[in-house]
Amino acid sequence: NNANFATPADGQSGRMRMFLWTFTTPERDGALENDIVTHEMTHGVTNRMTGGGTGRCLQTTEAGGMGEGWSDTMAIWNEQDSAATPDFVLGQYVTNNPAGIRTHPYSTNATTNPLLYSDLQTRTEVHAIGEVWANMLFNVYANLVHLHGFSANARADPTTSEGNVIFLHLFIDSLAIQPCNPTFLNARDAWLQADVNRFGGANACALWDAFASRGLGVGAANHTNSFLLPPACPSS
């Protein structure tokens, strides 16, 4: 009941392993669920792009937790087909369970998914931490799509300016900017810097709005929430 991805340093091939899941008879193959394949492949991307290609820069619990979160987030991104941003459940097929393999659906609704930055005080397993990060990024995604619309061709054409295209640029750009073994704060700041670098900071308030809504606002530190926006950003 698992899958994994090994990421050696640049110059050597990664290795993805997909296993059978035993919740059903017959057993189900994770290779047949896009969520699982995309999640694993994205480990290769985030491990390679963080900290200069050593494949050794998501080693702390918090950084490894974000590694799981980026992987879930890419699965969400890859499976969108309209500007709607409905709740997303990961791993429904392999488990044959509408609740999937995470504790909450990813959601813009804070009742459906109440996870906050401060949940890192008690969530100490990497996938549990990843849920907090992925839900923040799903809210970033929703803000950008609501602002800039949706490209149905984003998987093939990165040159347009819709929200889901902008999101993937910032996702990838931020990985190379952040330090080795980043914290949530480092990673948030890397998204903001990536937006400055590529879009002149045009999306700063959309990013802050999402991060702050889940406790990663101005002044967040040491797994203590802040819901504050910078003075330049209107509260929503």
Residue positions annotated with a catalytic role: 40
Residue 22: CB minimum distance to Zn ion, A: 19
Tell me the residue ranges of DSSP E strands in 81-145.
Answer: none
Q: How far apart are CA 212 and CA 150, in angstroms?
A: 23
Burial class (CB in 10 A: 0-12, 13-18, 19+), 197: middle
- Tell me which residue of 188, 182, 177, 173 sits closest to 64, measured CA to CA: 182
Q: Which of residues 69-98 bind Zn ion (CB under 5 A)?
A: 71
Q: Confirm if 219 and 229 have CB atoms less than 8 A apart.
A: no
Interaction mask 27-66, Zn ion, x per CB under 5 A: ----------------------------------------
Q: How far apart are CA 229 and CA 232, in angstroms?
A: 8
Q: Which stretch binds Zn ion (CB under 5 A): 24-32, 54-62, 67-75, 151-159?
A: 67-75
Known binder of ligand: residue 39?
yes
Place of tokens 């097929």: 93
Known binder of ligand: residue 127?
no
Report how many residues bind Zn ion under the rule CB under 5 A: 2
Q: Between 33 and 68, whose beta carbon lies closer to Zn ion? A: 68
Q: Between 66 and 205, whose beta carbon lies closer to Zn ion? A: 66
Q: Between 51 and 69, whose beta carbon lies closer to Zn ion? A: 69
